[in-house]
């Protein structure tokens, strides 16, 4: 492993100053970053350990009805917070469908958002990868590519973003709070991750030194609690990234869908908000036909990037199933899904 500096600042402003120099990266729980460093895939000059920053490990209910989640809250603590799980069940379900219990105990909100792709060619330093080394080429098109992107990809990169958590977050209009060299700012989560284009090495809208301090869900996100689900399809029941996933959230009034939210995971370099499909569902009854139409619209622009044409049909089916489950109502206790948050929270009622 390449030698590097290690600093542990005490405040956010010290952290931002320490991370502003080229080659510096933030270290949270390290469950992704340290693996990449051990594999010589990431070669930072400086680690800025943010795990001791004060105040970033809180879940705060806001006066406007929203919630603010500090960047250092662990994935497990967030998913198991009874009020959070009750108000944002699809987010809790997504968090607990990710990784393993041990990893979720360590992994942080900020780190989950910024985890790197799981493309095997990115991880294999003997392969060409435009994301790892700008302009070097990409070996995946002629390689093992059945898990790769079907939406928003480019000739230079077909990798996907692996986070489960981000999928319901983008559906619920999450906002990312950032502290940088020029002070604080916020952006929609939908704008945090970039599509590859000609510069797949630039994965996010963050500038050098930018620290994610929190993620906020607006007051409207709670309105979907009664009809929200996250559905993840993977190659084995635990400890695997999504082949395709979907977050579906409905606000149903008088037998009609007043508002729908839909996002897909495992299909693109970013969590994919399906806005056109949401429009199809506005002001209609929650029927199988409406869900089929929405699924079709969600994947209209999809095209295979290799051996992955099956993902397009799979994604359509997952969308229909997630919408159907959401329409049926968030169950008080989910059936025996792996890592169901509902089974783990005694007495939590979600209906
Ligand atoms: C075996 C295994 C299985 C997994 N399965 C899943 C899965 O099914 N679903 C899923 O979603 N995830 C999965 N993960 C990924 C896991 O969720 C991530 O490794 C974890 O969320 C990263 O969080 P961390 O705190 O360890 O981040 P770190 O590894 O410390 O950091 C990750 C990146 O984020 C940056 N960073 C961290 N915090 C901040 C911040 N506050 N501001 C700016 N930059 C920051 C770091 O510089 C680094 O680039 C799996 C991981 C493993 C090892």
| Ligand 1 atom closest to Cα of residue 242 | 8
Give CA separation, 20 vs 14, 17, 112, 211, 269, in Å: 10, 5, 21, 10, 26
User: Cα–Cα distance between 2 and 44 in angstroms, integer?
Assistant: 8
User: Cα–Cα distance between 350 and 182 in angstroms, integer?
Assistant: 42
User: Which pLDDT score, from 0 to 100, does residue 51 have?
Assistant: 97
The reply to whether ligand 1 has any atom less than 6 angstroms from the CB of 205 is no
User: Which pLDDT score, from 0 to 100, does residue 239 have?
Assistant: 82
Indicate the pLDDT class of residue 345, thresholds 50, 70 and 90: very low
Tokens in use for 2? 């390449």
User: Which pLDDT score, from 0 to 100, does residue 334 have?
Assistant: 56
> Measuring CA to CA, which residue among 314, 240, 323, 318 is closest to residue 281?
323
Per-residue pLDDT tens digits for 70-117:
999 999 999 999 899 999 999 999 998 999 889 999 999 999 999 999
Round the average pLDDT of the chain to a whole number and report it: 94
- How close is the Cα of 75 to the center of ligand 1, in Å? 10
Per-residue pLDDT tens digits for 175-231:
999 999 999 999 999 999 999 999 999 999 999 999 999 999 999 999 999 999 999
> Measuring CA to CA, which residue among 205, 311, 331 is closest to residue 266?
311
Q: Do residues 262 and 294 make contact, with C-beta atoms less than 8 angstroms apart?
A: yes
Measured in residues, the chain has a length of 351
Pocket test for ligand 1, best of 27, 31, 70, 232 (most atoms within 8 A of CB): 31
- How close is the Cα of 163 to the center of ligand 1, in Å? 8
The reply to whether ligand 1 has any atom less than 6 angstroms from the CB of 230 is no
Measured by CA distance, the residue closest to atom 52 of ligand 1 is 99
Tokens in use for 15? 């952290």
Percent of the chain scoring above 70 in pLDDT: 95
Q: Is residue 350 over pLDDT 50? A: no
The reply to whether ligand 1 has any atom less than 6 angstroms from the CB of 115 is yes
User: Which pLDDT score, from 0 to 100, does residue 178 have?
Assistant: 98
Longest dimension (CA), the chain: 63
- How close is the Cα of 309 to the center of ligand 1, in Å? 28
In this prediction the pTM is 0.96
The reply to whether ligand 1 has any atom less than 6 angstroms from the CB of 145 is no
Per-residue pLDDT tens digits for 6-31:
999 999 999 999 999 889 999 999 99
Measured by CA distance, the residue closest to atom 21 of ligand 1 is 112
Strands (E), the chain: 5-7, 24-27, 46-49, 59-61, 67-70, 175-180, 183-188, 211-217, 228-233, 244-253, 256-265, 272-273
Q: Is residue 238 over pLDDT 90? A: no
């Amino acid at each position: 492993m390449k030698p590097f500096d290690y600093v542990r600042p005490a405040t956010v402003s010290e952290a931002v100053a320490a991370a502003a120099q080229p080659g510096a990266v933030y270290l949270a729980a390290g469950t992704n970053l340290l693996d990449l460093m051990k594999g010589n895939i990431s070669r930072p000059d400086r680690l800025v350990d943010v795990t001791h920053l004060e105040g970033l490990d809180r879940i705060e209910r806001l006066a406007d009805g929203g919630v603010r989640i500090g960047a250092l809250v662990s994935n497990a603590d967030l998913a198991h917070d009874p009020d959070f799980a009750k108000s944002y069940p699809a987010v809790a379900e997504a968090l607990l469908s990710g990784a393993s219990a041990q990893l979720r105990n360590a992994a942080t909100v900020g780190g989950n958002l910024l985890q790197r792709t799981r493309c095997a060619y990115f991880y294999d330093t003997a392969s060409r990868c435009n994301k790892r080394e700008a302009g070097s080429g990409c070996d995946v098109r002629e390689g093992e590519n059945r898990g790769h992107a079907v939406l928003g990809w480019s000739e230079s990169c077909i990798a996907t973003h692996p986070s489960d958590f981000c999928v319901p977050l983008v559906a619920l209009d999450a906002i990312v709070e950032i502290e940088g060299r020029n002070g604080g700012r916020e952006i929609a989560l939908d704008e945090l991750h970039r599509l590859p284009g000609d510069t797949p090495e630039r994965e996010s809208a963050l500038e050098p030194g930018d620290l994610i301090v929190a993620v906020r869900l607006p007051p409207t996100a709670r309105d979907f609690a009664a009809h929200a689900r996250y559905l993840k399809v993977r190659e084995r029941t635990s400890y695997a990234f999504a082949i395709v996933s979907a977050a579906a959230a409905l606000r149903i009034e008088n037998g009609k869908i007043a508002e729908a939210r839909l996002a897909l995971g495992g299909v693109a370099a970013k969590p994919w908000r399906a806005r056109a499909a949401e429009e199809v569902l506005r002001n209609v009854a929650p029927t199988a036909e409406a869900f089929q139409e929405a699924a079709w619209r969600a994947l209209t622009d999809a095209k295979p990037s290799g051996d992955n044409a099956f993902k397009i049909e799979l994604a359509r089916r997952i969308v229909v199933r997630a919408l159907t489950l959401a329409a049926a109502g968030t169950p008080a206790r989910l059936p025996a899904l792996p890592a169901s948050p509902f089974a783990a929270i005694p007495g939590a009622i979600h209906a």
